[in-house]
Amino acid sequence: MCGIIGYIGDKPVVPVLIEGLRRLEYRGYDSAGIALVGDGLEIRRSAGKLACLEEVIAAQPVDGDYGLGHTRWATHGRATEENAHPHRDCTGRIVVVHNGIIENYLDLKHALEADGHHFQTETDTEVLAHLVEREMRDDGLECAVRRALVAVRGLFGLVLLSADDPQKLVAVRNGPPILVGLGDQEFFVASDVPAILSHTRDVVFLGDQEMAVITRAGVEFTDFDGAAVQTTTQRITWDPVMAEKAGYKHFMLKEIFEQPWAAQETVLGRTSLESGQVFLGELEIPEARLRAVERIVLLACGTSWHAALVGKFVIEQLAGIPVEVDYGSEYRYRDPIVTAATLAIVITQSGETADTLAALREARRKDAVSIAICNVVGSMATREADATVYTHAGPEIGVASTKAFTSQLVAFHVLALYLAQVRGTLAPDVARGHLEDLNHLPRLLEQALRCDEAIQDVARRFHTHRNFLYLGRGINYPIALEGALKLKEISYIHAEGYPAGEMKHGPIALIDEDMPVVALLPSGPVFEKMASNLQQAKTRGGAIIAVTNTSHEEITPLIDPSRDAIIAIPDSPPLLTPIVMVVPLQLLAYHIAVRRGCDVDQPRNLAKSVTVE
């Protein structure tokens, strides 16, 4: 949940580190620091935002030949300057930055204190510096790190340097992501791609229990035992400009408006309207194996779990395969029933979500065939799954997911149509009709975005409320969950998402004039039942915000213009309605958060990629 950057090369080091940390701000943090080695080893740290660190550096200038930097979300120890990374050993010669959690740090700390080591912070990370100090010999920093890690339990991504082993960075991965950037006579190490995009697009993602030893001469990749490992250099196709705001006030707003493009990119090259076929050449699973699948389990966390709930509807309807949906964080604790006829699909924007990866490993351990739906090439999920369906959404910087979510929904449609094609569950003309719908989706999303001005007015009217209830039915019920999540994530307003049919089983007790009800009213068979739910809410004083693609003649009788609101969206095929319906909910959450003065791109206590359990 932290940001890491390291650099060896000929450029001025401080600007490279600060720029890298700034590009990692979206991950969330409460303190920051850098360490550089030149004539000596210097550390600058600060609690608060990166601007506070820059003030410290301006007051106490520092320079060096190479160095590393870190942004921290507090897990062990308060958000203070002394607990900010980087951390040192007793000698002050060894420096470490760390993402993850050391599970046995208290036992290690007590043992080290008994040996005479003195600790300066409340963090688990400082233990690592002292362990490496204890293991230092004449065989180099990397050997000391290997010996030190034998005693460590937990998940960690580390970068270390030692003033006694100069011109060297040692990077380690056991869980949280670490990648190495390969430049022109310069090398980078980071926890995520955006940190180095302006310098290089050639990266190597470390695997679990792998180490990179980085010097000016090159990079050596080994496992924790020191044996060489084979690596693959990935060419990142994201343009550095894609990680900029491009004139938008916030990354989140930019990414909301990029959704038509992201949907198009996720479909592009994978469908043929002429033949009515889906092409997933990257899905390197034999068709016979897919035909043998008897059930599917979808595994995800957070927003991706909501995408999985929609995916269940889509796959069952198009491919005719039974689907269940599990939280990645819960799956492995119930001894799930898995066979070789089970297809496990993990959904993760980053490909590094710790709980989702653990669920994937549990399913694979029990012989399931596996697919990852992911946005990041080379991430751990894409390497561990049997195959990957990439969402081509580009970098998503805002912590609250928007375009990655809609791209996941599009990917589910593509995958479901491919499974239907392989298994022969759809007539060719029906399949072609669904492909035509998919190809029209970007236009529908563009039309949905035109409601932005109307939503700003809705936000003005409702932003002072402290509780919201979101209701949906059928395939749009998960979108009610997602809308509520977006509101609570970035505006800090309590919001609940419910199936509308469950309203009278509890939530109705909360409805009064202080709890607006956001209702998803698509045309079709659920409209009348949704309308009935709204009448019940209105009877109890609840104001209604209706998101609908129905005609005004149908919706007007339900709405009192003096206290309710209508958000009109374009009509769409039922299976695609969730993708269109979520756009106004994203915009509503965004504009309410802005009116409340919230930090939209970096909401408190949240991280973009949750790489610890």
* Cα separation, 350 vs 610, whole angstroms: 9
Burial class (CB in 10 A: 0-12, 13-18, 19+), 61: exposed
The residues with which 420 forms a beta bridge, in sequence order, are none
Residue 531 pLDDT exceeds 70: yes
pLDDT of residue 609: 62
Give the CA count within 13 Å in the CB-facing half-sphere of 189. Answer: 34
Which structure tokens are listed for 287? Answer: 């068709």
Tell me if 546 sits within 8 A of 521, measured CB to CB. yes
Tens-digit pLDDT profile for residues 314-341 = 999 999 999 999 999 999 998 999 999 9
pLDDT of residue 494: 96
Tens-digit pLDDT profile for residues 50-93 = 999 999 999 999 999 999 999 987 766 677 888 888 999 999 99
Q: Following DSSP, what letter does each residue of 445-506 receive, concatenated?
A: HHHHHTTHHHHHHHHHHHTT-SEEEEEE-GGGHHHHHHHHHHHHHHH--EEEEEEGGGGGGT
Higher-pLDDT residue of 43, 1? 43
Q: Which residue is catalytic, options 312, 486, 488, 608?
A: 608
**pLDDT > 70: what percent of the chain?**
97
Tell me if 397 sits within 8 A of 194, measured CB to CB. yes
Tell me if 513 sits within 8 A of 560, measured CB to CB. no
Residue 311 pLDDT exceeds 90: yes
* Cα separation, 325 vs 308, whole angstroms: 7
Which structure tokens are listed for 408? Answer: 């996941």
Residue 269 pLDDT exceeds 90: no
pLDDT of residue 395: 85
Walk me through the domains of the chain, giving residue ranges and CATH numbers. 3-236 (3.60.20.10), 243-446 (3.40.50.10490), 452-595 (3.40.50.10490)
Average pLDDT for the chain:
92
pLDDT of residue 243: 64
Which residues does 366 contact at the CB level (< 8 Å), separation at least 6?
336, 338, 339, 342
Residue 611 pLDDT exceeds 60: no
Residue 525's SS3 state is coil
**pLDDT > 90: what percent of the chain?**
73
Categorize the per-residue pLDDT at 537 as very low, low, confident or very high, splitting at 50, 70 and 90: confident
Residue 482 pLDDT exceeds 90: yes
Higher-pLDDT residue of 493, 193? 493
Residue 378 pLDDT exceeds 90: no
Residue 143 pLDDT exceeds 60: yes
Residue 306 pLDDT exceeds 60: yes
Categorize the per-residue pLDDT at 101 as very low, low, confident or very high, splitting at 50, 70 and 90: confident
The residues with which 68 forms a beta bridge, in sequence order, are 6, 35
Active site residue 143: no
Q: Kindly list the distances between the CA atom of residue 412 and the CA atoms of 255, 424, 611, in Å, as whole numbers in the listed order.
A: 20, 18, 24
Q: Kindly list the distances between the CA atom of residue 60 and the CA atoms of 4, 27, 45, in Å, as whole numbers in the listed order.
A: 22, 27, 11
Active site residue 451: no
Tell me if 45 sits within 8 A of 33, measured CB to CB. yes
Categorize the per-residue pLDDT at 25 as very low, low, confident or very high, splitting at 50, 70 and 90: confident
Alpha-carbon torsion (330, 332, 335, 338), positive or negative: positive
pLDDT of residue 552: 66
Which structure tokens are listed for 343? Answer: 């297809």
Residue pointed to by tokens 């809308």: 483
What does the chain come to in residues?
A: 613
Q: What is the residue type of 320?
A: G
Q: Which residue is catalytic, options 2, 301, 374, 598?
A: 2
pLDDT of residue 608: 66
* Cα separation, 441 vs 577, whole angstroms: 10
Alpha-carbon torsion (458, 459, 465, 467), positive or negative: positive
Q: What is the residue type of 358?
A: A
The residues with which 566 forms a beta bridge, in sequence order, are 546
* Cα separation, 296 vs 318, whole angstroms: 13
Query: Per-residue pLDDT averaged across 89-106, rounded?
Result: 92
Helices marked H in 258-379: 259-267, 287-291, 303-319, 328-331, 354-365
Categorize the per-residue pLDDT at 247 as very low, low, confident or very high, splitting at 50, 70 and 90: confident
